[in-house]
Amino acid sequence: MRRVDLFLALGFLLLWKISLACEICGCGVGNIYTGIMPQFSKNFVGIRYRSMTFRSHLKRSPIFHTEEHFYTAEIWARYYPLSKLQLIAFFPYHYNIQIQKSQGKKIVLNGIGDPAILGSYALINTSNSMKRVKQNFLVGAGIKFPFGKYQYDAQNTKEVANPNFQLGSGSVDFLFNAFYTLRFNKWGITTDLSYKLNTQNKQQYRFGNRTAHNIAIFFIAKFRELGLMPYLGSYYEFSEKDTQSQYPIEITGGRLWNGSWGCEFYFRKIIVGSNVQIPFVQNLANQNIRSENRWNLHFSFVF
Protein backbone atom coordinates (compact mmCIF):
# COMPACT_ATOMS: atom_id res chain seq x y z
CA MET A 1 0.00 0.00 0.00
CA ARG A 2 2.84 2.35 0.80
CA ARG A 3 4.33 1.79 -2.65
CA VAL A 4 0.96 2.50 -4.28
CA ASP A 5 0.59 5.68 -2.24
CA LEU A 6 4.12 6.69 -3.21
CA PHE A 7 3.46 6.13 -6.93
CA LEU A 8 0.18 8.08 -6.70
CA ALA A 9 1.93 10.94 -4.95
CA LEU A 10 4.67 11.00 -7.58
CA GLY A 11 2.03 10.89 -10.32
CA PHE A 12 0.15 13.85 -8.87
CA LEU A 13 3.44 15.73 -8.46
CA LEU A 14 4.34 15.08 -12.10
CA LEU A 15 0.92 16.23 -13.30
CA TRP A 16 1.21 19.34 -11.16
CA LYS A 17 4.60 20.16 -12.66
CA ILE A 18 3.31 19.64 -16.20
CA SER A 19 0.34 21.95 -15.63
CA LEU A 20 2.66 24.47 -14.00
CA ALA A 21 4.97 24.37 -16.99
CA CYS A 22 2.03 25.10 -19.23
CA GLU A 23 1.10 28.15 -17.15
CA ILE A 24 4.52 29.78 -17.44
CA CYS A 25 5.01 29.36 -21.18
CA GLY A 26 5.22 32.58 -23.16
CA CYS A 27 3.82 36.07 -22.75
CA GLY A 28 2.45 36.73 -26.20
CA VAL A 29 -1.33 37.05 -26.00
CA GLY A 30 -3.10 40.38 -25.73
CA ASN A 31 -0.10 42.68 -26.18
CA ILE A 32 -0.80 46.14 -27.59
CA TYR A 33 2.36 47.89 -28.78
CA THR A 34 2.44 51.51 -30.00
CA GLY A 35 6.08 52.55 -30.15
CA ILE A 36 7.34 55.23 -32.55
CA MET A 37 4.47 56.32 -34.80
CA PRO A 38 4.79 58.09 -38.19
CA GLN A 39 4.46 61.92 -38.24
CA PHE A 40 2.27 62.45 -35.19
CA SER A 41 0.30 65.35 -36.72
CA LYS A 42 -0.97 63.44 -39.79
CA ASN A 43 -3.28 60.57 -40.68
CA PHE A 44 -1.74 57.29 -41.81
CA VAL A 45 -2.57 53.70 -42.66
CA GLY A 46 -0.07 50.90 -42.84
CA ILE A 47 1.01 47.41 -42.02
CA ARG A 48 3.63 46.31 -39.53
CA TYR A 49 5.30 43.09 -38.56
CA ARG A 50 6.78 42.18 -35.19
CA SER A 51 8.31 39.09 -33.64
CA MET A 52 8.92 37.93 -30.06
CA THR A 53 10.60 34.81 -28.68
CA PHE A 54 10.40 33.35 -25.17
CA ARG A 55 12.18 30.39 -23.61
CA SER A 56 10.62 28.83 -20.53
CA HIS A 57 11.72 26.17 -18.09
CA LEU A 58 11.11 25.17 -14.49
CA LYS A 59 14.02 26.11 -12.29
CA ARG A 60 16.06 23.17 -10.99
CA SER A 61 14.42 20.97 -13.63
CA PRO A 62 15.91 20.57 -17.14
CA ILE A 63 12.98 18.37 -18.20
CA PHE A 64 10.22 20.92 -18.92
CA HIS A 65 11.67 23.25 -21.53
CA THR A 66 9.70 25.07 -24.24
CA GLU A 67 10.48 27.70 -26.83
CA GLU A 68 7.77 29.97 -28.20
CA HIS A 69 7.80 32.31 -31.18
CA PHE A 70 5.11 34.95 -31.72
CA TYR A 71 4.87 36.54 -35.18
CA THR A 72 2.28 39.25 -35.80
CA ALA A 73 1.28 41.00 -39.02
CA GLU A 74 -0.92 43.95 -38.19
CA ILE A 75 -2.89 46.60 -40.05
CA TRP A 76 -2.82 49.84 -38.09
CA ALA A 77 -4.14 53.30 -38.83
CA ARG A 78 -4.48 56.74 -37.28
CA TYR A 79 -7.15 59.30 -38.14
CA TYR A 80 -7.87 62.81 -36.85
CA PRO A 81 -11.65 63.41 -36.94
CA LEU A 82 -10.93 66.68 -35.10
CA SER A 83 -7.75 68.73 -34.90
CA LYS A 84 -7.09 67.65 -31.30
CA LEU A 85 -8.62 64.18 -31.37
CA GLN A 86 -6.87 61.16 -32.86
CA LEU A 87 -8.11 57.59 -33.27
CA ILE A 88 -5.71 54.65 -33.63
CA ALA A 89 -6.89 51.18 -34.66
CA PHE A 90 -5.04 47.84 -34.59
CA PHE A 91 -6.09 44.68 -36.52
CA PRO A 92 -3.59 41.84 -35.85
CA TYR A 93 -3.04 38.44 -37.40
CA HIS A 94 -0.90 36.00 -35.35
CA TYR A 95 1.32 33.07 -36.25
CA ASN A 96 2.51 31.31 -33.09
CA ILE A 97 4.97 28.42 -32.80
CA GLN A 98 5.58 26.40 -29.65
CA ILE A 99 8.44 23.89 -29.50
CA GLN A 100 8.32 21.44 -26.60
CA LYS A 101 11.95 20.36 -26.57
CA SER A 102 11.58 17.66 -23.94
CA GLN A 103 8.99 15.88 -26.12
CA GLY A 104 10.29 16.90 -29.54
CA LYS A 105 6.86 18.35 -30.30
CA LYS A 106 5.99 21.41 -32.40
CA ILE A 107 2.63 23.18 -32.27
CA VAL A 108 1.47 25.97 -34.62
CA LEU A 109 -1.48 28.32 -34.11
CA ASN A 110 -2.42 31.00 -36.61
CA GLY A 111 -5.39 33.28 -37.12
CA ILE A 112 -6.82 36.71 -36.36
CA GLY A 113 -6.05 38.27 -32.99
CA ASP A 114 -7.85 40.80 -30.82
CA PRO A 115 -8.40 44.17 -32.53
CA ALA A 116 -8.26 47.38 -30.52
CA ILE A 117 -9.13 51.04 -30.92
CA LEU A 118 -7.61 53.91 -28.98
CA GLY A 119 -8.81 57.53 -28.82
CA SER A 120 -6.49 60.30 -27.61
CA TYR A 121 -7.01 64.03 -27.04
CA ALA A 122 -4.23 66.59 -27.49
CA LEU A 123 -3.83 68.76 -24.40
CA ILE A 124 -0.81 70.42 -26.04
CA ASN A 125 -0.17 70.51 -29.79
CA THR A 126 2.33 72.93 -31.37
CA SER A 127 3.65 70.49 -33.95
CA ASN A 128 2.49 72.66 -36.89
CA SER A 129 3.81 75.95 -35.51
CA MET A 130 6.87 77.83 -36.78
CA LYS A 131 8.51 77.78 -33.35
CA ARG A 132 11.87 76.09 -32.84
CA VAL A 133 10.48 74.17 -29.86
CA LYS A 134 7.48 71.97 -30.62
CA GLN A 135 5.43 69.86 -28.25
CA ASN A 136 2.67 67.31 -28.49
CA PHE A 137 0.96 65.84 -25.40
CA LEU A 138 -2.00 63.47 -25.68
CA VAL A 139 -3.97 61.39 -23.20
CA GLY A 140 -6.49 58.76 -24.13
CA ALA A 141 -8.29 55.50 -23.54
CA GLY A 142 -9.40 52.57 -25.65
CA ILE A 143 -10.80 49.08 -25.75
CA LYS A 144 -9.62 45.66 -26.99
CA PHE A 145 -12.21 43.24 -28.36
CA PRO A 146 -12.12 39.42 -27.96
CA PHE A 147 -12.09 38.40 -31.63
CA GLY A 148 -9.09 36.08 -31.45
CA LYS A 149 -9.66 32.42 -30.57
CA TYR A 150 -9.13 31.49 -26.93
CA GLN A 151 -9.36 27.76 -26.23
CA TYR A 152 -7.56 26.72 -23.08
CA ASP A 153 -8.25 23.29 -21.61
CA ALA A 154 -5.45 21.84 -19.48
CA GLN A 155 -7.12 18.41 -19.56
CA ASN A 156 -7.23 18.14 -23.37
CA THR A 157 -3.89 16.87 -24.69
CA LYS A 158 -4.90 17.72 -28.29
CA GLU A 159 -4.98 21.43 -27.51
CA VAL A 160 -2.31 23.86 -26.35
CA ALA A 161 -2.83 23.88 -22.57
CA ASN A 162 -1.34 27.34 -22.24
CA PRO A 163 -3.42 30.52 -21.82
CA ASN A 164 -0.56 32.74 -23.02
CA PHE A 165 -0.14 30.89 -26.32
CA GLN A 166 -3.69 31.57 -27.58
CA LEU A 167 -4.58 33.87 -30.48
CA GLY A 168 -6.73 36.06 -28.22
CA SER A 169 -7.34 36.65 -24.53
CA GLY A 170 -11.07 35.87 -24.66
CA SER A 171 -11.79 39.05 -22.70
CA VAL A 172 -12.76 42.67 -23.24
CA ASP A 173 -9.85 44.76 -21.99
CA PHE A 174 -9.40 48.51 -21.47
CA LEU A 175 -6.45 50.66 -22.51
CA PHE A 176 -5.14 53.94 -21.09
CA ASN A 177 -2.35 55.92 -22.74
CA ALA A 178 -0.36 59.13 -22.53
CA PHE A 179 1.99 60.33 -25.31
CA TYR A 180 4.47 63.21 -25.16
CA THR A 181 6.88 64.48 -27.83
CA LEU A 182 9.31 67.40 -27.48
CA ARG A 183 11.31 68.60 -30.47
CA PHE A 184 14.01 71.28 -30.69
CA ASN A 185 15.25 71.90 -34.24
CA LYS A 186 16.44 68.49 -35.48
CA TRP A 187 16.56 66.79 -32.07
CA GLY A 188 13.70 65.44 -30.03
CA ILE A 189 12.46 63.07 -27.37
CA THR A 190 9.29 61.01 -27.40
CA THR A 191 7.75 58.95 -24.63
CA ASP A 192 4.54 57.05 -24.00
CA LEU A 193 3.01 55.40 -20.95
CA SER A 194 0.27 52.78 -21.26
CA TYR A 195 -1.83 50.73 -18.87
CA LYS A 196 -3.91 47.71 -19.87
CA LEU A 197 -6.77 46.74 -17.57
CA ASN A 198 -7.79 43.14 -18.23
CA THR A 199 -11.09 41.49 -17.35
CA GLN A 200 -11.92 37.85 -16.69
CA ASN A 201 -12.93 35.75 -19.70
CA LYS A 202 -15.64 33.07 -19.93
CA GLN A 203 -13.23 30.38 -18.74
CA GLN A 204 -12.61 32.32 -15.51
CA TYR A 205 -9.08 33.23 -16.57
CA ARG A 206 -7.83 36.79 -16.15
CA PHE A 207 -4.50 38.02 -17.46
CA GLY A 208 -2.60 40.35 -15.16
CA ASN A 209 -2.87 44.08 -15.76
CA ARG A 210 0.09 45.44 -17.69
CA THR A 211 2.02 48.71 -17.56
CA ALA A 212 4.44 49.70 -20.32
CA HIS A 213 6.72 52.70 -20.81
CA ASN A 214 8.63 53.61 -23.95
CA ILE A 215 11.10 56.50 -24.34
CA ALA A 216 13.41 57.43 -27.21
CA ILE A 217 15.73 60.24 -28.31
CA PHE A 218 15.67 60.94 -32.05
CA PHE A 219 17.43 63.03 -34.68
CA ILE A 220 15.93 64.16 -38.00
CA ALA A 221 18.04 64.55 -41.15
CA LYS A 222 16.78 65.50 -44.63
CA PHE A 223 18.33 64.88 -48.05
CA ARG A 224 16.03 66.48 -50.63
CA GLU A 225 12.86 64.34 -50.54
CA LEU A 226 14.35 61.68 -48.30
CA GLY A 227 14.16 62.03 -44.51
CA LEU A 228 15.86 59.89 -41.88
CA MET A 229 15.03 59.67 -38.20
CA PRO A 230 17.36 57.36 -36.23
CA TYR A 231 16.52 56.93 -32.55
CA LEU A 232 17.79 55.26 -29.40
CA GLY A 233 15.72 54.44 -26.34
CA SER A 234 14.36 51.91 -23.89
CA TYR A 235 11.18 49.96 -23.23
CA TYR A 236 9.94 48.85 -19.79
CA GLU A 237 7.07 46.48 -19.07
CA PHE A 238 5.50 45.26 -15.82
CA SER A 239 2.81 42.57 -15.66
CA GLU A 240 0.79 41.60 -12.62
CA LYS A 241 0.04 37.94 -11.87
CA ASP A 242 -2.67 36.12 -13.82
CA THR A 243 -5.63 34.64 -11.96
CA GLN A 244 -7.79 31.55 -12.48
CA SER A 245 -11.24 31.77 -10.84
CA GLN A 246 -9.86 34.79 -8.94
CA TYR A 247 -6.98 32.76 -7.47
CA PRO A 248 -3.51 34.13 -8.36
CA ILE A 249 -1.17 31.95 -10.41
CA GLU A 250 2.21 32.31 -8.76
CA ILE A 251 4.55 31.69 -11.70
CA THR A 252 3.17 34.49 -13.89
CA GLY A 253 3.79 38.22 -14.27
CA GLY A 254 7.11 40.00 -13.95
CA ARG A 255 9.29 42.83 -15.24
CA LEU A 256 11.20 43.42 -18.44
CA TRP A 257 13.51 46.26 -19.48
CA ASN A 258 14.71 46.41 -23.09
CA GLY A 259 17.11 48.71 -24.82
CA SER A 260 15.90 49.74 -28.29
CA TRP A 261 17.24 51.37 -31.42
CA GLY A 262 15.79 51.92 -34.87
CA CYS A 263 15.29 54.26 -37.80
CA GLU A 264 12.41 55.79 -39.75
CA PHE A 265 12.75 56.52 -43.49
CA TYR A 266 10.50 59.18 -45.05
CA PHE A 267 9.98 59.61 -48.80
CA ARG A 268 7.10 61.86 -49.83
CA LYS A 269 4.03 60.15 -48.32
CA ILE A 270 5.70 56.79 -47.71
CA ILE A 271 7.33 55.83 -44.40
CA VAL A 272 9.32 52.68 -43.63
CA GLY A 273 10.60 52.01 -40.14
CA SER A 274 12.27 49.27 -38.15
CA ASN A 275 13.58 48.75 -34.63
CA VAL A 276 15.18 46.11 -32.44
CA GLN A 277 14.70 45.59 -28.70
CA ILE A 278 17.41 43.86 -26.67
CA PRO A 279 16.69 42.70 -23.10
CA PHE A 280 18.85 44.36 -20.43
CA VAL A 281 17.12 43.30 -17.22
CA GLN A 282 14.27 40.83 -16.81
CA ASN A 283 12.46 38.79 -14.19
CA LEU A 284 9.53 37.02 -15.82
CA ALA A 285 7.45 34.35 -14.05
CA ASN A 286 9.90 34.24 -11.15
CA GLN A 287 12.80 33.76 -13.61
CA ASN A 288 11.19 30.74 -15.28
CA ILE A 289 10.81 32.63 -18.59
CA ARG A 290 13.51 34.39 -20.60
CA SER A 291 12.65 36.93 -23.28
CA GLU A 292 14.87 37.13 -26.37
CA ASN A 293 15.42 40.01 -28.79
CA ARG A 294 12.33 41.58 -30.39
CA TRP A 295 12.09 43.01 -33.89
CA ASN A 296 9.57 45.36 -35.51
CA LEU A 297 9.09 46.54 -39.09
CA HIS A 298 6.38 48.80 -40.54
CA PHE A 299 5.33 50.31 -43.85
CA SER A 300 2.93 53.28 -43.73
CA PHE A 301 1.23 55.73 -46.07
CA VAL A 302 0.61 59.26 -44.77
CA PHE A 303 -2.36 61.35 -45.94
* Whether the predicted pLDDT of 26 surpasses 80: no
Q: What is the CATH number of domain 2-302?
A: 2.40.160.40
* Whether the predicted pLDDT of 41 surpasses 80: no
What is the tens place of the pLDDT at every residue in 153-207?
A: 655 555 555 778 889 999 999 999 999 999 998 999 999 999 999 999 998 999 9
Gap between the Cα atoms of 271 and 38, Å rounded: 7
Alpha-helical regions (H) of 43-149: none
Strand order in the sheet with 247-248: 205-206, 243-244, 247-248
In the chain, where the domains are located = 2-302
Q: Which of 37-41, 67-71, 216-220 has the weakest average pLDDT? A: 37-41
* Whether the predicted pLDDT of 18 surpasses 50: no
What is the tens place of the pLDDT at every residue in 237-282?
A: 999 999 999 999 888 899 999 999 999 999 989 999 999 999 999 9
Gap between the Cα atoms of 76 and 82, Å rounded: 19
User: Dihedrals φ, ψ of 15, to 5°?
Assistant: -60, -40
In a 3-state reduction of DSSP, which class is residue 294?
strand
Gap between the Cα atoms of 213 and 196, Å rounded: 12
How many CB atoms sit inside 10 A of residue 283's CB? 13
Do residues 120 and 179 make contact, with C-beta atoms less than 8 angstroms apart? yes
Is the model more confident about 23 or about 61?
61
Query: Strand ranges (DSSP E) for the chain?
Result: 44-57, 65-82, 85-100, 105-112, 116-125, 133-144, 173-184, 187-197, 205-206, 210-219, 221-223, 226-239, 243-244, 247-248, 254-267, 270-284, 289-291, 294-302
* pLDDT at residue number 227: 92
Q: Which of 67-71, 102-106, 161-165, 222-226 has the weakest average pLDDT? A: 161-165
* pLDDT at residue number 147: 93
Gap between the Cα atoms of 257 and 279, Å rounded: 6
Do residues 261 and 268 make contact, with C-beta atoms less than 8 angstroms apart? no
Do residues 262 and 276 make contact, with C-beta atoms less than 8 angstroms apart? yes
